[in-house]
Amino acid sequence: MNEKNKKEILSRGAFATSIGAVIATLGSAIGLGNIWKFPFIAGENGGAAFLIVYIASTILVGLPVMISEIALGRKARANAITTMQKLNPKKGQPWWLIGALGALAAFTIMAFYTEVAGWVYAYIFKSLNTSGLSTNPQVTEKAFTDLITSPWQSLIWQWVVLGIVSVIIIKGVSKGIERVTKFMIPSLLVMVVIIAIRSLTLDPVATSKGLSFLFRPDFSKLGWDVVLIAMGLAFFKLSVGMGTMITYGSYWQNDQNIPYRTATVMLSDLAVSLLAGLAIFPAVFAFGFEPASGASLMFITIPAVFASMPFGQIFMVLFFILASFAATGAMISLIEVPVAYINENFNISRLKATIATNLTLALIGSLAALSNSVLADFKLFDLTMFDLFDYVSSNLMLPIGGLFIAIFVGWIWGKKNIEAALNNAGTLNNHVIVNVFTFIVRFITPVLIIIILLGGLGVF
């Protein structure tokens, strides 16, 4: 890497080691989406058939958008909005709106994500006094319900989460994020493998039921609505469609192989989700839980697995600590979008930008935090605020953002720029990959997103 380039990156706060940016990107992708959301959404939508659509969306839609975002961010070395302004050759066209929509999506996701993260934090303490640690579904369900129906507990845990995220963000990019993520991801992986092994060995009949639930497809369950949810989950899990990866791409170094590294991130993310599925579904059948029990699934099932293994309590504490790290890594990347934007565009310090962002979130987030208690009957489109934030962000905002990112890269930025970005200005010999990517990002990704969005919204 040349000197000018190095200086340019460092002045914006780069990651300390060359692999650091990739690790942090993985830290953004792997989060509650893998261990909390993926299992319960797969459970609600029929398991295996859903899984197939989800994997196809990840490869044909999620990965191309991720490559696009990282390439754009690395080229422009700026936040999502400035990136679109800098790289847009047609100055009159408002492509920066992608960044603005992304900042909005970040708020919408954070509003409910901080609440779920709050549950995870709370469970660290619940496991210390073993409440909820039981193989009896009624006990674990009650422990969870007690938590989420208490307005004060919900709010306070959300504030704790916002406070911790603020501190990490204020400390800056490389020190905070990279250090935590580097040991968090491998440890989480080991932990999920341990839980999966225990879950798979609980009871042979339950194991085969769990496995066939996850891997034997029943396509009668697939409608457009489910396909949209699968695609939305692919966006959410890879943190794409809203500029997070543009912002993180701006910290990637110029000699990193984007298609190869992003594919590694995608495969690791998929592996963690599948392992989470293997950890949860055999146990669901072994203890008599309901596979479609929704947002509570992880919180009621995993403690039951721990209750049936030696040193279960210690494992449970460790698991929730790791899960809280995973959630925090993802939240940092979410908040980074509006904070980087406010910081760079309005010349407002990181400190002030972070405080303003988090205070706003405490306000909007309370609507989600109180969705299981005092605001349980406050619904729009028949959804509580929690569910509404979740649905709108994953199934509308991210796909729409991703659609425009793909169109921008494929049709406006164009082949020449794509080629230079993906072959690192001629130093990589990856002609075929560049051509395949260009074809997909032009013709496949946008078309699929449009069809699935229209189908999911009931147009045909």
Q: Which is nearer to ligand PHE, 44 or 419 (CB)?
A: 44
Site stretch for ligand PHE (CB under 6 A), options 54-62, 250-258, 330-338, 374-382: 330-338
List the alpha helices (DSSP H) in 30-96: 32, 38-44, 48-57, 63-76, 80-87
The answer to whether residues 236 and 33 touch, using CB atoms and an 8 Å cutoff, is yes
CB-based closest residue to ligand PHE: 33
The one-letter amino acid code at 236 reads F
Shortest distance in whole angstroms from residue 184 CB to ligand PHE: 13
Please enumerate in sequence order all residues whose Cβ is within 8 A of that of 53, keeping only pairs 6 or more positions apart, or say none: 222, 226, 227, 230, 231
The single residue among 258, 334, 353, 385 that binds ligand PHE, judged by CB under 6 A, is: 334
Dist. CA 166–CA 160, nearest whole Å:
10
Q: Which is nearer to ligand PHE, 307 or 368 (CB)?
A: 368
Shortest distance in whole angstroms from residue 273 CB to ligand PHE: 9
Angle, alpha carbons 180-114-233 (nearest 5°):
90
Shortest distance in whole angstroms from residue 131 CB to ligand PHE: 26
Binding mask 404-443 toward ligand PHE (x if CB under 6 A, else -) reads ----------------------------------------
- Which contiguous run of DSSP H or E holds residue 380? strand 379-380
**Cα–Cα distances in Å, from 441 out to 60, 118, 265, 436, 438?**
9, 37, 18, 9, 5
Shortest distance in whole angstroms from residue 351 CB to ligand PHE: 22
* Residues 13 to 42 in contact with ligand PHE, rule: CB under 6 A: 28-29, 31-34
Q: Is 291 exposed, middle or buried (0-12, 13-18, 19+ CB in 10 A)?
A: buried
Binding mask 229-258 toward ligand PHE (x if CB under 6 A, else -) reads -------xx-x--x-x--------------
- Enter the tokens of residue 440: 């997909």
The single residue among 154, 199, 250, 333 that binds ligand PHE, judged by CB under 6 A, is: 333
Q: How many CB atoms lie within 10 A of CB 264?
A: 14
Q: Which is nearer to ligand PHE, 330 or 434 (CB)?
A: 330
Dist. CA 443–CA 432, nearest whole Å:
16
List the alpha helices (DSSP H) in 370-430: 385-392, 398-407, 414-422
- Nearest to residue 237, comparing CAs of 86, 449, 28, 10? 28
Dist. CA 169–CA 329, nearest whole Å:
10
Shortest distance in whole angstroms from residue 386 CB to ligand PHE: 16
Size of the site for ligand PHE (CB under 6 A): 15
Shortest distance in whole angstroms from residue 292 CB to ligand PHE: 21
Dist. CA 213–CA 381, nearest whole Å:
30
Q: Which is nearer to ligand PHE, 29 or 61 (CB)?
A: 29
Phi, psi for 334 (deg, rounded to 5)? -70, -50
Binding mask 194-233 toward ligand PHE (x if CB under 6 A, else -) reads ----------------------------------------
Binding mask 104-143 toward ligand PHE (x if CB under 6 A, else -) reads -----x----------------------------------
The single residue among 330, 407, 441, 453 that binds ligand PHE, judged by CB under 6 A, is: 330
The one-letter amino acid code at 188 reads L
Q: Which is nearer to ligand PHE, 32 or 422 (CB)?
A: 32
Shortest distance in whole angstroms from residue 219 CB to ligand PHE: 26
The binding site for ligand PHE (CB under 6 A) comprises 28-29, 31-34, 109, 236-237, 239, 242, 244, 330, 333-334
